[in-house]
Amino acid sequence: MRPNGRHTAGVSQLSALRAWAMGLLLLSAVAISPTTATAVPSQAAVATTHVYLLRGVLNIFSLGLDTIGARLQAQGIPVTVANFVSWSSLADEAATAYKAGRLKTIVLVGHSSGATALPDMIAKLNRLGVPVKLAIGLDSVFKTKLSTGAERYINIYIGDGPGEPVKRADGFRGKLDNVDVRGSGVGHISIDKNEAIQRRVIAEIDAAIMRSRAPAPVAEPGAPRSARSAAATAPRN
């Protein structure tokens, strides 16, 4: 007996609806979990914060970071949007501002190759004695390891695409969250432009700024034992 065409079409439509619903649920989870804070940080906290957003290759595929930057600026949060190749000079700039007392809270966000560059930027800042409050990577395209610490590192990646989970290496300090958004309908080129992802990124940044107090200094390699011990035992937010 040949299957009823109308029944077959109905099953196909139902399967498509189920897939769409699952994608919507995944994106909703990314948007609201684990951070649900909606309050805007105080101007006092914002004044000593800077968010560095690193675009990927060719500087044209990560324009969602420009949107995130504009939304942060609308809250009064200072931002710099640049190509990932600038990560080293940006680290020097951030370190100078931090040591001059103009900057207390440093946040890094990267997409694609910009996400891949984040551990290098964090490591350089740590070597310069500068802590990183929060780093968020969006679909890093190469195997990425964290050998030194941001207070928190969130890696949002597409597990069945080019993205990779971030691994802990020896010496890593801080909290690492790998968030796999496979099946949500976002792709490598669109992940930074997705509304739910952008809301998650901004909510995490706002929450980090609101938690900020004067961060504990990061001991440089070769620093005296007492300095390293003080940094290790300093209270965390």
Query: What 3 state SS string does 140-174 have?
Result: CCCCEEECCCCCEEEEEECCCCCCCCEEECCCCCC
* Of the listed ranges 84-93, 105-114, 143-152, 171-180, the one predicted with least confidence: 143-152
Best CA proximity match to 51, nearest among 108, 130, 10: 108
Q: Which tokens hold the place of 154?
A: 């969130």
* Distance (Å, whole) CA 104 – CA 212: 8
pLDDT band at 119 (very low <50, low <70, confident <90, very high): very high
Question: What's the rounded Cα separation, in Å, for the pair 62 and 112?
Answer: 8
pLDDT of residue 11: 44
Q: Can you give the pTM of this predicted structure? A: 0.75
Q: Give 191's Cβ-side CA count (13 Å radius).
A: 31
Note the pLDDT tens digit of each residue in 28-82. 444 434 444 456 788 888 989 999 999 998 888 999 999 999 999 999 999 999 9
Give me the mean pLDDT over the 3-21 stretch: 48
Helices (H), the chain: 5-32, 43-47, 64-74, 87-99, 113-127, 195-211, 225-233
130-187 pLDDT tens trace: 999 999 999 998 877 887 779 999 999 999 888 888 888 877 878 999 999 999 999 9
Predicted pLDDT of residue 224: 39
Question: So what's the pLDDT on residue 197?
Answer: 97
What gap in Å lies between CA 17 and CA 14, rounded to an integer?
Answer: 5
Q: Apex CA 179: angle with CA 175 and CA 182, to 5°? A: 165
Across the strands, what pairs with 83? Answer: 55
More confident residue, 183 or 18: 183
Say how far apart CA 47 and CA 104 lie, in whole Å.
9
pLDDT at 146: 81
CA quadruple 140, 141, 147, 150: dihedral, nearest 10? -10
**Tokens at 92, concatenated:** 């020097």
Predicted confidence at residue 63, as pLDDT, reads 95
Would you give the end-to-end CA distance of the chain in angstroms?
A: 67
Q: What is the pLDDT of residue 226?
A: 35
Q: Coil, strand or helix: which one is 79? A: strand
**Average pLDDT over the chain, rounded to whole?**
80
Query: Which residues are within 8 A (CB) of 155 and not within 5 positions of it... i.e. 6 or more apart?
Result: 115, 136, 137, 140, 144, 165, 166, 176, 177, 178, 179
Q: Which of the four pLDDT bands, split at 50, 70 and 90, describes residue 205?
A: very high
